[in-house]
């Protein structure tokens, strides 16, 4: 294992101008289960692999709603992610209360990044060990950001984080240029394809992943499991991968046809 004397304190610079503790915290993100995000001009979709700690457990939540118009997917230390999700929720609520309008996604992302930066400059803290994909919709359209433990953030058309996310990124890089014009159904399907890439041959089922969406006329919500299974089944009918199945129809689920009525999956209209 690489060793040096500059890597045990978050406030110590290496001679080459690096903060090793921050870099190590970013490794924790790579060990979390994978999450992907992608967006069109009007919709943003997040998807995460469900990894249960044992057969007896339900999986841990990886997708969190921050407000009607924004939500996050996390990879890394779940406990840190939960704390940051609540921070986002509070920021959104406070902004709504004061300004009577939703907090623009870009501003929310900056506030999140600032909170993370502080942890990289105080000797009695550690950097958060979690990465967050933030998907949201505001007056300037749909957005996707990645906030990392260093306090940096990046805007993306599509991105993947967590373990084996490289395969998903490779898939997304081949296709992201067309995403701006995608329908919500197309975004969901590509999210599922990207998730599948991270499974290394394991069969994708709706138990294995969670998908959330936010978009015009549709508040951030988790899509119900049956609808996801319908998408997966439709994807498998079309054999050759996404490229070949462009002509395949949208899955005939209720959701795809206008609104699933399930408690957790209906595209809740935004109260704006």
Our CB check for a copy of itself shows the closer of 5 and 200 to be 5
Q: Which residue has the tokens 């990465």?
A: 131
Instruction: State how far the alpha carbon of 12 is from the alpha carbons of 6, 74, 126, 210, in Å.
Output: 6, 28, 12, 39
In the complex, minimum distance from the CB of residue 236 to a copy of itself, in angstroms, rounded to a whole number:
26
Our CB check for a copy of itself shows the closer of 153 and 253 to be 153
In the complex, minimum distance from the CB of residue 180 to a copy of itself, in angstroms, rounded to a whole number:
13
In the complex, minimum distance from the CB of residue 251 to a copy of itself, in angstroms, rounded to a whole number:
26
Which tokens hold the place of 215? Answer: 């978009």
Site for a copy of itself (CB under 8 A): how many residues? Answer: 75
In contact, 38 and 179? CB cutoff 8 Å = yes
205 binds a copy of itself (CB under 8 A): no
Our CB check for a copy of itself shows the closer of 8 and 101 to be 8
Sign of the Cα pseudo-torsion (27, 30, 31, 36, in order) = positive
Our CB check for a copy of itself shows the closer of 177 and 249 to be 177
The neighbouring-strand residues paired with 130 are 76
The window from 47-55, 187-195, 202-210, 226-234 that contacts a copy of itself (CB under 8 A) reads 47-55
Cα R_g (the chain), whole angstroms: 19
Q: Of residues 151-190, which lie at the interface with a copy of itself (CB under 8 A)?
A: 151-159, 169, 172-173, 176
Q: Of residues 1-20, which lie at the interface with a copy of itself (CB under 8 A)?
A: 1-20
The whole-angstrom separation of Cα 171 and Cα 165 is 10
Q: Of residues 226-255, which lie at the interface with a copy of itself (CB under 8 A)?
A: none
Which DSSP string do the residues of 61-128 spell out, in sequence order? P-EEEEETTEEEEEEE-HHHHHHHHHHHHHHHHHHHHHHSSPPPHHHHHHHHHHHHHHTTS-TT----
Q: Of residues 17-36, which lie at the interface with a copy of itself (CB under 8 A)?
A: 17-21, 24-31
- Exactly one of 146, 182, 193, 220 binds a copy of itself (CB under 8 A); that residue is 146
Q: Of residues 107-136, which lie at the interface with a copy of itself (CB under 8 A)?
A: 110, 113-114, 116-117, 119-127, 129
In the complex, minimum distance from the CB of residue 54 to a copy of itself, in angstroms, rounded to a whole number:
7
Q: What backbone phi and psi angles, to 5 degrees, belong to 270?
A: -80, 140
Which tokens hold the place of 172? Answer: 């997304």
The whole-angstrom separation of Cα 220 and Cα 44 is 9
In the complex, minimum distance from the CB of residue 210 to a copy of itself, in angstroms, rounded to a whole number:
14
Residues in the chain: 272
């Amino acid at each position: 294992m690489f060793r040096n004397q500059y890597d045990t304190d978050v406030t110590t610079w290496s001679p080459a101008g690096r903060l090793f503790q921050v870099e190590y915290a970013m490794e924790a993100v790579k060990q979390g289960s994978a999450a992907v995000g992608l967006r069109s001009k009007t919709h943003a979709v997040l998807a995460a692999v469900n990894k249960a700690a044992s057969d007896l457990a339900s999986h841990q939540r990886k997708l969190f709603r921050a407000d009607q118009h924004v939500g996050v997917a996390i990879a890394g230390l779940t406990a840190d992610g939960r704390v940051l999700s609540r921070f986002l929720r509070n920021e959104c609520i406070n902004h709504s209360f004061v300004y009577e309008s939703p907090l623009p996604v870009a501003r929310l992302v900056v506030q999140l990044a600032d909170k993370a930066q502080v942890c990289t400059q105080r000797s009695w803290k550690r950097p958060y060990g979690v990465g967050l994909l933030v998907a949201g919709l505001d007056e300037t359209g749909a957005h996707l950001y990645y906030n990392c433990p260093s306090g940096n953030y990046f805007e993306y058309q599509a991105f993947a984080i967590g373990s084996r996310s490289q395969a998903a990124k490779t898939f997304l890089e081949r296709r992201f240029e067309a995403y701006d014009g995608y329908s919500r159904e197309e975004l969901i399907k590509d999210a599922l394809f990207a998730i599948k890439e991270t499974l290394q041959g394991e069969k994708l089922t709706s138990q294995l992943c969670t998908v959330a969406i936010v978009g015009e006329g549709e508040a951030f919500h988790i899509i119900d499991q049956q609808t996801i299974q319908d998408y997966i089944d439709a994807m498998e009918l079309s054999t050759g991968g996404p490229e070949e199945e462009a002509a395949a129809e949208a899955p005939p689920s209720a959701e795809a046809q206008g609104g699933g009525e399930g408690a957790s999956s209906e595209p809740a209209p935004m109260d704006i």
